[in-house]
Chains A and B, each alone.
Chain A
C-alpha cells in the first residue's frame, strides 16, 4: 500500500511539474512577495511618525507590521486555497468523465488508497506552499521593519492546516460535482467562511452576541476559518495596550485564540470529510 501511495503522489507531482503548474505558481508567488516587499518598505517608512506626540498611544511598528503581515497571511491563505482547489479539480467525477480515472481504478491499488493519495499530494503541496510563502513574507517583514509576530510557528501551521482542510473539502466536492461546479462551490464555501469570520470580528468589536455566535458557529462548521482567525490572533496575542485592541478589531486581526478543542475538531472534521468522499467514491459507478 505504501508503494501505491508514493506512486500516486509521485504521479501528481510529475503532473504538476510537466504541466508547469509549479513554475507558474513560483513566478506568481515571487511577484506577490516582491510587491509585498515594496509595500512593507513604504508602510514601515511612512508609519514611523504615526501617532507621535506626547501621549504615544499606538506602537507604529507593531501596528504596521501586524497589519501588513495579516494582509500577507490573508493572501497566502487565498493563494494556498487556489492551489489546493486546482490540485484536486476534477479528481473523481471530472477524470471519470474524461476517461482518465478508469485505467487507474481497475488496478489493485483500490479506490480509497487512490483518493487518499491524491489528497496527501494536494494537501502536502498546498501546505508546503503556504509555509514557504509565509516564511518569505516573514523574512521580508523583518527586513523592512524589524518586526516579527508574537508567535512564529503556530500561525504558519494553522494556515497549512487550513489549506489541507480546503483540499479535503474540494476532494469531497469532486466526487459529486462536475469540474466547474466543484470550483464554484469550494470558492463559495471559502468566501462564506471568511465572511463569517469577519462577522465574528465585527460582533466582537460592537459586543453583538448574535454576530459573535454566528462567527463562532462558522469556525466549527468550516474549521479552516477558525484556524485562520486563530493564526491572526497568534500574531499579536502578546501585544498589549491600545495597539493590541486596535489590531484585534482590524480586518486582519483575530479575536479568538485556537482552543485545543478546535484543533482536535479540525482533525476529526478532515478525517470525516475524507471518509465521506471515500464512501461516495466507492459507491460510484464509473
Chain B
C-alpha cells in the first residue's frame, strides 16, 4: 500500500525543547491511523507539520510524495485543528463556499449539500456559525475539512466537543471515508473511539513513537479465568489456544465448569504501559 502520509526521522524542537524526536510513521490510502499520547507528547505538532502549519527541525514529511506544506501537498489534505474558530458572521454554507474557492473545488452546491448531510447539518446550512453549538461547529469543521475531496484527512481531537450522538455520526463518517479510500490521521484521547474505528494505532510519548500496530495485535493475553463449583481460578499467561486444554484438565479432575473467559489487555492497558503513566 503506497503511503499517503510518510514521516521519516521527523524532529521538531521549540526553543531547545524537543517536541518530536525522530518519528517514523506512514498512513496508507484508505487507512485510519489513530494517534495516541499524553498531552504535550507531540501529536498535534506532528499533525501541524503534516499540513504545513509548523516547520520541522529535521527529517521529512511527505504527502503523496510531495513535501508537506507545498501547494500540491496542501491541495491533497483536509485539516481540522483541535482549537479552531470560524468567523461567527458566516453561515455554514458560506463557510463551505469560501473553502471551495480557496482549494479550487468545482463541487458547487451539490458538494456542499452532500458534506452538510454527511455531518447531519443539512438543516443548518443557512445558520450563522455564532448561533451554532460547539458540537455543531465541530461537525461543520469536519465538513470544511472534507471540501475538495482530500486524499488525506488530518483530524486533531475532532470529537472533543461532541455528545454521544455526535460521536456516532463522526464514527459513521470515518467508516464512509475508509470506503472512499481516504487516509485519515486521527488524534484522540478517547481510546474506546480509536479502538472502534482505527485500523492502526500509534502511541507517542515524549516526542517518540513508542508503540505502533493494529489494536488487536497490541493487546496481549492476560490469562484464562475459569469459574468452577469451587470458585474462580485464574491461569495467568494462558491464552485462547490453551483454554480447551485447561478446561479438559479441570473436567478430568472432576471439576464442574460454569464459565470460561480468555482475558486480554485492553488498549487502555497497552496505552498506560506505553506511556508509563505520563500525563501532560
A residues with a Cβ closer than 8 A to B are 3-4, 7, 11, 14-15, 18-19, 98-100, 102-110, 283, 285-286
Contact = CB atoms under 8 A, between A and B. Distances in A.
Nearest to A20: B89
Contacts of A7: 98, 101-102
Nearest to A4: B102
Contact of B86 (A14, A103, A110, A283): A103
Interface stretch (B75-83, B157-165, B181-189, B230-238): B75-83
Contacts of B141: 103
B214 interface: no
B102 A98 contact: no
Interface residues of B, number: 31
B71 A102 contact: no
Given A4-B102, A11-B98, A285 B54 contact: yes
Contact of B84 (A14, A102, A107): A102
Interface in B77-120: 77, 79-81, 83-87, 89-90, 94, 98-99, 101-104
Given A7-B98, A18-B89, A99-B85, A106 B77 contact: yes
A106 B90 CA distance: 19
Nearest to B101: A7
A14 B55 CA distance: 32
A230 B77 CA distance: 50
26 contacts: A3-B101, A4-B102, A7-B98, A14-B90, A14-B94, A15-B89, A98-B85, A99-B81, A99-B83, A100-B85, A102-B53, A102-B79, A103-B80, A103-B81, A103-B99, A105-B53, A106-B51, A106-B79, A108-B71, A108-B72, A108-B102, A283-B55, A285-B48, A285-B54, A285-B55, A286-B53
Contacts of A11: 98
A117 B90 CA distance: 19
B60 interface: no
Contact of A108 (B83, B85, B87, B103): B103
B22 to A, nearest CB: 19
B107 to A, nearest CB: 14
Given A11-B98, A100-B86, A102-B79, A107 B74 contact: yes
Contacts of A18: 89-90
A48 to B, nearest CB: 51
Contacts of A110: 71
Nearest to A11: B98
B75 A108 contact: yes
Interface string B53-81: 11100000000000000011011010111
A286 B84 contact: no
A106 B52 contact: yes
Given A103-B144, A283-B55, A109 B85 contact: no
Contacts of B99: 103, 107
A108 B100 CA distance: 11
Given A15-B87, A285-B14, 8 more contacts: A4-B101, A7-B101, A14-B90, A102-B79, A105-B52, A108-B74, A108-B104, A286-B48
A100 B81 CA distance: 10
Contacts of B53: 102, 105-106, 285-286
Nearest to A19: B89
A106 B153 CA distance: 12
Nearest to B154: A106
B144 to A, nearest CB: 6
A286 B49 CA distance: 10
A168 B104 CA distance: 28
A11 B102 CA distance: 11
Contact of A107 (B54, B90, B102): B102
A235 B75 CA distance: 52
A15 B95 CA distance: 12
Nearest to B128: A18
Nearest to B102: A107
B79 A103 contact: yes
A286 B53 CA distance: 5
Contacts of A102: 53, 79, 81, 84
